[in-house]
């Protein structure tokens, strides 16, 4: 097992595509797994708990198998507690709650707004980041796509509006979590898997305390729902993170982050084929607009013309350095559903 873990951590560039596709399939299918649990009567808080519990179990097993050092700095654990709240416990619960009212297909579309909300939080919390016209246009395009999904011209259904708003609060929380991680946890030398194991573990602890208060005693909902929770946690919140890290190491975070564009597609395929959900034209069009908005916020500006001999070239207005682009890609890496 240890050898296989090490192999996953050093994937050659020529073999990154299978891991990339598997991650998109797992995270895209996660919304259907949430729906299975919710329809079986599992309360949202318990859906979130089992995700964190089984995910933490896998991640801590990887930490132990790889003999990674666990940080002793209490500040790391404190910041990880905050991240575990806003990046795991809170949004996981909200997505399960939202899917009481909307389909897993629609929830998958809302998940693709995470990079847009991450950018909003980045502009608020990180003063070095400037709101360029390109980025603002991307945010506007994404928000227009959200209105199309809601079908605002027809007034929208109350259940669709309620579930969508709940999921959008969840994606806003994801964006805050990624921005907080960049500001307070990205500068250290603690391995990413260790940090993730700590934050997901904190999320499990929080939910173990809160889920009984909001949902009573745990309810499994039958073997099918139990299997869905195990897969959702162990794969979606556990192993998929490891595989995504493999892609980052093979071809970089910019390519790895584009998994966000495929998750709505897989969510639609699984929801339509296995849960008998429908895919309206406005949902498909709105999803396309949202993804286009994300692409627009991350499209690099044209390269400046070569400077005359002896003159130091100056960056174009609004241009980002290679380091800035790498940071932006990492900070907007999609969250698990």
Residue pair 118/331 in contact (Cβ under 8 Å)? The answer is yes
pLDDT at 283 over 80: yes
pLDDT at 282 over 90: no
pLDDT at 297 over 80: no
CA atoms within 13 A on the CB side of 65: 16
Q: How far apart are the first and last CA of the chain?
A: 27
Give the rounded percent of residues in the chain with a pLDDT score beyond 90. Answer: 41
Greater pLDDT, 30 or 294: 30
What is the average pLDDT across 269-298? 88
**Euclidean distance between CA atoms 148 and 118, whole angstroms:** 21
pLDDT at 279 over 70: yes
Q: How far is C-alpha 220 from the geometric centre of its chain's CA atoms? A: 26
Greater pLDDT, 301 or 35: 35
Query: pLDDT digit string (tens) for 203-216?
Result: 999 999 999 999 88
What is the average pLDDT across 13-33? 85
Cα-Cα-Cα-Cα torsion 212, 208, 75, 71, nearest 10 degrees, comes to 180
Q: H/E element holding 68?
A: none
Query: pLDDT digit string (tens) for 128-175?
Result: 777 788 888 888 888 898 888 888 766 667 899 999 999 999 999 998
Instruction: Please calculate the CA angle 13-18-19 and round it to the nearest 5 degrees.
Output: 80
- Provide the pLDDT for residue 325: 35
Query: pLDDT digit string (tens) for 35-81?
Result: 999 999 999 999 999 999 999 999 999 999 999 989 999 999 999 99
Rg over CA atoms, the chain: 20
pLDDT at 299 over 70: no
- Provide the pLDDT for residue 58: 95
Greater pLDDT, 29 or 120: 29
What is the average pLDDT across 286-294? 87
Greater pLDDT, 270 or 296: 270
**DSSP symbols for 225-291:** HHHHHHHIIIIIIIIHHHHHHHHHHHH-HHHHHGGGGTHHHHHHHHHHHHS-----HHHHHHHHHHH
Of 7-16, 218-227, 235-244, the range with the lowest mean pLDDT is 7-16
What is the average pLDDT across 258-287? 88
């Amino acid at each position: 097992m240890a050898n296989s873990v090490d192999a996953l951590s050093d994937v050659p560039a020529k073999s990154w595509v299978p891991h990339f596709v598997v991650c998109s399939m797992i995270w895209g299918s996660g919304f259907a797994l949430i729906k299975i649990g919710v329809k079986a009567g599992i309360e949202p808080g318990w859906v979130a708990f089992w995700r964190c519990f089984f995910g933490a179990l896998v991640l801590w097993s990887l930490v132990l198998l790889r003999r990674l050092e666990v940080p002793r700095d209490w500040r790391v654990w404190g910041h990880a507690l905050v991240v575990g709240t806003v990046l795991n416990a809170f949004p996981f619960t909200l997505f399960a709650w939202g899917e009481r009212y909307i389909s897993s297909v629609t929830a998958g579309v809302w998940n693709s707004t995470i990079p847009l909300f991450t950018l909003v939080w980045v502009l608020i919390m990180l003063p070095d980041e400037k709101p360029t016209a390109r980025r603002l246009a991307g945010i506007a395009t994404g928000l227009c796509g959200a209105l199309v999904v809601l079908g605002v011209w027809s007034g929208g259904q109350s259940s669709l509006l309620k579930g969508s708003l709940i999921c959008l609060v969840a994606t806003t929380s994801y964006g805050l979590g990624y921005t907080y991680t960049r500001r307070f946890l990205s500068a250290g030398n603690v391995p990413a898997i260790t940090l993730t194991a700590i934050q997901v573990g904190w999320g499990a602890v929080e939910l173990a305390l809160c889920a009984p208060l909001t949902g009573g005693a745990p309810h499994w909902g039958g073997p099918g729902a139990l299997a869905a929770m195990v897969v959702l946690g162990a794969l979606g919140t556990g192993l998929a993170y490891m595989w995504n890290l493999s892609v980052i190491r093979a071809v970089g975070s910019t390519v790895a982050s584009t998994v966000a564009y495929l998750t709505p597609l897989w969510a639609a395929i699984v929801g339509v084929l296995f849960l008998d959900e429908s895919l309206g034209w406005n949902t498909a069009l709105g999803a396309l607009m949202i993804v286009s908005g994300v692409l627009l916020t991350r499209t690099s500006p044209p390269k400046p013309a070569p400077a005359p001999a002896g003159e130091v070239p100056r960056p174009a207005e609004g241009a980002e350095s290679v380091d800035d682009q790498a940071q932006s890609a990492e900070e907007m890496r999609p969250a698990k559903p």
